[in-house]
Amino acid sequence: MSSRWEEFYATHSTPDNFEENKRQIDDFCQHVNSEQKIVLITSGGTTVPLEHNTVRFVDNFSAGTRGSASAEWFLENGYIVIFIYRLKSLEPFVRHFMGQKFLDMLEIRKQSNVTSVQVKNENLNTVLPILEKYKAVKEANQLLSRSQHYFYIPSNEMPTHKMQSAEGPPTISLRLVPKMLEPLVNIWVPNAYVVSFKLETDESILVSKARGALSKYKHKMVALKMTRKTKVMLVFPNTSSEISLSCEEIENGIEIESKIVSQVIENHNLFIS
């Protein structure tokens, strides 16, 4: 089992943009001084191509809400954030303006022969605080955002062309994605405070599964998403705590990620001190 990730890297070619991403991250880290706390967040789902010239793929359901919201809360708390996201999943700040909402917020103004495009007054209270934070973060060079695909079907088993329907329904044997947590915790960043996130819909087994993962991979915390968006269980090797939003907090638009990130930061501080 322990060599599964090694086998994975030995048999898979690196993604197209791997070298460029690596260079950008190296460059970005140059300017970080040793006093600053850094968090690396991977966000968005895992994609598995079923064919080489990919037409169809197996995907898991992650818009990247948790990752992109958490990134904002880490930034708010002064962390440097390296945000690796799956193409088309949500990014920090921009996530608040998806779809037609954004075009509907804009108006065209003509004043003495000068045309400008402005955010409508009624939307200013929504846009301005987010834009101000985004610009401050950019200014301070506090955020690096890079997209990356995560794949896991051995590429020599994939057909080159689209599978033909006429040949009958295809049967797909999925491989389990090797758990990168093991080398991550033990080899790549042994001094880091590593937290994993897991979505389990079956509440009866989730804590035992989280404990199993912690004892196997030796990382520090598993955040379990229980019911979507309003309840999360934080599982540590010996304890656990539950985070939830009250109806009032939900109505006021409080995001549960703000609470999760506070907890992670608290534990991170304990860990480094």
Closest to a copy of itself by CB, 25 or 199:
199
Residue 176 makes contact with a copy of itself by CB under 8 A: yes
Closest to a copy of itself by CB, 80 or 143:
143
Q: For residue 195, what are the β-bridge partners? A: 221
For residue 117, the minimal CB distance to a copy of itself (Å) is: 4
Evaluate the CA torsion angle 68, 74, 78, 80 in order and state its sign. negative
Q: Tokens standing for 53?
A: 């010239």
Residue of 1, 108, 247, 270 interacting with a copy of itself (CB under 8 A): 108
Nearest CA among 183, 147, 124 for reference residue 47: 147
CA distances from 139 to 18, 32, 133, 134, 179 (A): 26, 14, 10, 9, 36
Q: Which stretch binds a copy of itself (CB under 8 A): 68-76, 197-205, 216-224, 230-238?
A: 197-205
CA distance 235 to 240: 4
For residue 173, the minimal CB distance to a copy of itself (Å) is: 5
Q: Which stretch binds a copy of itself (CB under 8 A): 19-27, 28-36, 49-57, 69-77?
A: 49-57
Nearest CA among 88, 81, 93, 84 for reference residue 42: 84
Q: Which stretch binds a copy of itself (CB under 8 A): 4-12, 27-35, 101-109, 180-188?
A: 101-109
Residue 208 makes contact with a copy of itself by CB under 8 A: no
CA distance 177 to 259: 30
- Residues 6 or more apart in contact with residue 87 via CB below 8 angstroms: 44, 147, 148, 149
For residue 260, the minimal CB distance to a copy of itself (Å) is: 19
Q: Tokens standing for 172?
A: 């797909």
Residue 3 makes contact with a copy of itself by CB under 8 A: no
Q: Which positions lie near a copy of itself, rule CB under 8 A?
A: 50-51, 53-61, 63, 88, 91, 93-94, 97, 99-100, 102-103, 106, 108, 115-119, 124, 127-128, 131-132, 134-135, 145, 160-162, 164-165, 168-176, 199-202, 205
